[in-house]
C-alpha cells in the first residue's frame, strides 16, 4: 500500500549521500512510501543546460512532498540554480512557511562559552514567498559609470498574515508560548509597518502567546549573546535567511540544521532539506554527516501527519549524536543504518 508519494531530488555533491540515508530511515519507520528520483541540480545543468523543465515541475507537483539533498556547485553562475530551481519550487508551490528549528542537542557543542545542550531550542518561521526574494528589480546602463541596480521587496497583507498566523499557532503549541517578531521597522518603515500592524492584529487571536519585537540588528546580536531567550521567531524572507544561519552557528553549525519549505494547506508539495550545501570538497568520500538530512526527513513525516514516526526518527538522531566521540570520523551509511535501526525499533 502506498502511504505517501515522495519526490526525491538528491542533487549535487554530498546531497546524494545524505539523502540516501534520509530515505533509508523513512523507509524503516514508514513502509510503503513510494519514492521517485529526479535528477536536478548542477550536474544536470552542466550537462544539458536545463534547470527545471516545466514537465518535471508538473510531475513534482503531483507528489505529497519533496525530499531534497543539496543543490549547487561553484561551476554554476550564482543565481541560476537558486532562482531557477530552489526558489522556483518555493514560489510555484506556495511554500510560504520556511521552517527552521534550531536546538543545541546533547552531544553537540555550541561555540558559545557556557551554553549547555538543551538550553537553546527555537524555531524560526521565515516567510518563503515574498520580500526581496521575489526577484523584482533590474539593472540599467550595465558596466558603465551610470549603472544602477535595484531590488524590490514586495510584501502583502495576505502573505504576511498567513505566515504570522502560522507562527502564532506554532508558539501556542509549545511550552514557552513565546513569539518574537523580527524586522527593521525603524528604517524599512513601509514593509516594517505592514509586518508590525499585522502581527499586532493576529496577536489578538492568541491571548496565550507572549510577544516581543526586535530589530534585525538587535536580534542578530541577541542570537549570539542570549540565544536561550528565543522560542518561536517570525520574520521576513531575507532576515530569516540570515537569522537562521546565526541560529545554526550557535547550535554548533549546520550539521544538525534541518528545514522545511512548507505549504501548510498541502495544496502543493512541501520541500524538506538540510540547510547545508553540496560540500564538493568532501563529496563522494562517504564521510558527510547525514543528521540534518535525516532530521529533514523527520520534518517531512511530521508534515504528512506521521507524528509518531517523526518523533522516533528525531529521537534516534538525538541518541546517535549524543553517543558520538567528539572528533571521531563517521561513515555516512553507517550513521544511516544505526538511526534506521533505532527508529524502527
Q: Is residue 316 near a second copy by the rule CB under 8 A? A: no
The residue assigned the cell 541518541 is 319
| Under rule CB under 8 A, residue 156 binds a second copy | yes
Residue 34 to residue 25: CA distance in whole angstroms: 14
Q: List the catalytic residue out of 133, 166, 231, 289.
A: 133
Q: Of these, 86, 179, 232, 310, which contacts ligand IPM (CB under 6 A)?
A: 86
210 vs 188: CA distance, rounded Å: 24
Query: Which member of 7, 40, 246, 294 binds a second copy (CB under 8 A)?
Result: 246
Query: What string marks each residue from 212 to 241 as x (binds ligand IPM by CB under 6 A) or -?
Result: -----x-----------------------x
Given 39, 217, 285, 308, which residue is catalytic? 217
In three-state secondary structure terms, 236 is coil
Contact with a second copy (CB under 8 A) among 40, 68, 104, 194: 194
Query: At 111, which helix (H) or strand (E)?
Result: none
Beta carbon of residue 216, minimum distance to a second copy (angstroms, whole number): 6
Residue of 24, 38, 103, 184 with catalytic role: 184
Q: Using CB under 6 A, which of 82, 119, 161, 315 touches ligand IPM?
A: 82
Cβ-proximal residues to 318 (8 Å cutoff; 6+ apart), any chain = 105, 106, 107
Catalytic residue among 27, 92, 241, 337: 241
Least CB distance to a second copy at residue 169 (A): 19
Is 217 one of the annotated active-site residues of the chain?
yes
Q: Is 207 in the site for a second copy (CB under 8 A)?
A: no
Task: Give the residues across from 68 on adjacent strands.
Answer: 9
The answer to the question of residue 119 lying near ligand IPM (CB under 6 A) is no
Count of C-beta atoms within a 10 Å radius of residue 291:
28
The x, y and z cell numbers of residue 322, run together, are 549524543
133 noted as active-site residue: yes
Alpha-carbon torsion, ordered 58, 157, 149, 217, to 10 deg: -110
CB-based contacts of 90, cutoff 8 Å, min separation 6: 98, 128, 129, 133, 261, 271
Residue whose C-alpha is closest to residue 98's, from 9, 154, 176, 162: 162
289 carries an active-site annotation: no
Read off the DSSP letter of residue 15.
H
Question: Closest Cα partner for 226 from 212, 247, 245, 209?
Answer: 247
In the complex, what is the shortest distance from the CB of residue 114 to a second copy, in angstroms, rounded to a whole number? 8
Query: In the complex with a second copy, which residue's Cβ is closer, 82 or 119?
Result: 82
Q: Give the one residue of 51, 250, 262, 298 binding a second copy; rule: CB under 8 A.
A: 250
216 binds a second copy (CB under 8 A): yes
Q: CB-side exposure of 194: number of CA atoms within 13 Å?
A: 17
Would you tell me which residues interact with ligand IPM (CB under 6 A)?
A: 82, 86-87, 186-187, 217, 241
Active site residues: 133, 184, 217, 241, 245
Would you tell me which residues interact with a second copy (CB under 8 A)?
A: 78-79, 82-83, 87, 110-114, 132-133, 135, 137-139, 141, 143-158, 184-194, 196-197, 216-218, 220-225, 238, 241-246, 248-250, 253-254
Amino acid at each position: 500500500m502506498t502511504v505517501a508519494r515522495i519526490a526525491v531530488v538528491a542533487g549535487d555533491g554530498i546531497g546524494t549521500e545524505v539523502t540516501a540515508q534520509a530515505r533509508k530511515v523513512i523507509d524503516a519507520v514508514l513502509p510503503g512510501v513510494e519514492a521517485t528520483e529526479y535528477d536536478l541540480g548542477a550536474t544536470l545543468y552542466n550537462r544539458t543546460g536545463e534547470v527545471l523543465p516545466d514537465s518535471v515541475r508538473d510531475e513534482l507537483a503531483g507528489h505529497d512532498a519533496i525530499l531534497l539533498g543539496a543543490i549547487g556547485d561553484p561551476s554554476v553562475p550564482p543565481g541560476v540554480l537558486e532562482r531557477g530551481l530552489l526558489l522556483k519550487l518555493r514560489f510555484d508551490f506556495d511554500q510560504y512557511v520556511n521552517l527552521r528549528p534550531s536546538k543545541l542537542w546533547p552531544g553537540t557543542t555550541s561555540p558559545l562559552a557556557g551554553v549547555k545542550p538543551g538550553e537553546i531550542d527555537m524555531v524560526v518561521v521565515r516567510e518563503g514567498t515574498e520580500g526581496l526574494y521575489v526577484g523584482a528589480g533590474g539593472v540599467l546602463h550595465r558596466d558603465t559609470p551610470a549603472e544602477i541596480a535595484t531590488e524590490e521587496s514586495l510584501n502583502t497583507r495576505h502573505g504576511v498574515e498567513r505566515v504570522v498566523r502560522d507562527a502564532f499557532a506554532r508558539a501556542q503549541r509549545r511550552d514557552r508560548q513565546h513569539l518574537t517578531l523580527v524586522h527593521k521597522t525603524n528604517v524599512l518603515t513601509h514593509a516594517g509597518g505592514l509586518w508590525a500592524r499585522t502581527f499586532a492584529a493576529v496577536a489578538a487571536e492568541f491571548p496565550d502567546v507572549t510577544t516581543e519585537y526586535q530589530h534585525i540588528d538587535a536580534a542578530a546580536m541577541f542570537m549570539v549573546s542570549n540565544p536561550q531567550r528565543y522560542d518561536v521567531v517570525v520574520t521576513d524572507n531575507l532576515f530569516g535567511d540570515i537569522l537562521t544561519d546565526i541560529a545554526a552557528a550557535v547550535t554548533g553549525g549546520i550539521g544538525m540544521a534541518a528545514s522545511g519549505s512548507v505549504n501548510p494547506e498541502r495544496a502543493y508539495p512541501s520541500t524538506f532539506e538540510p540547510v547545508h550545501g553540496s560540500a564538493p570538497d568532501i563529496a563522494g568520500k562517504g564521510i558527510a554527516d547525514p543528521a540534518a538530512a535525516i532530521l529533514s526527513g523527520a520534518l517531512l513525516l511530521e508534515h504528512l501527519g506521521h507524528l509518531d514516526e517523526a518523533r522516533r526518527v528525531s529521537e534516534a538522531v538525538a541518541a546517535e549524536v549524543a553517543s558520538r566521540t567528539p572528533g571521531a570520523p563517521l561513515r555516512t551509511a553507517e550513521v544511516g543504518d544505526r538511526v534506521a535501526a533505532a527508529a524502527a525499533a
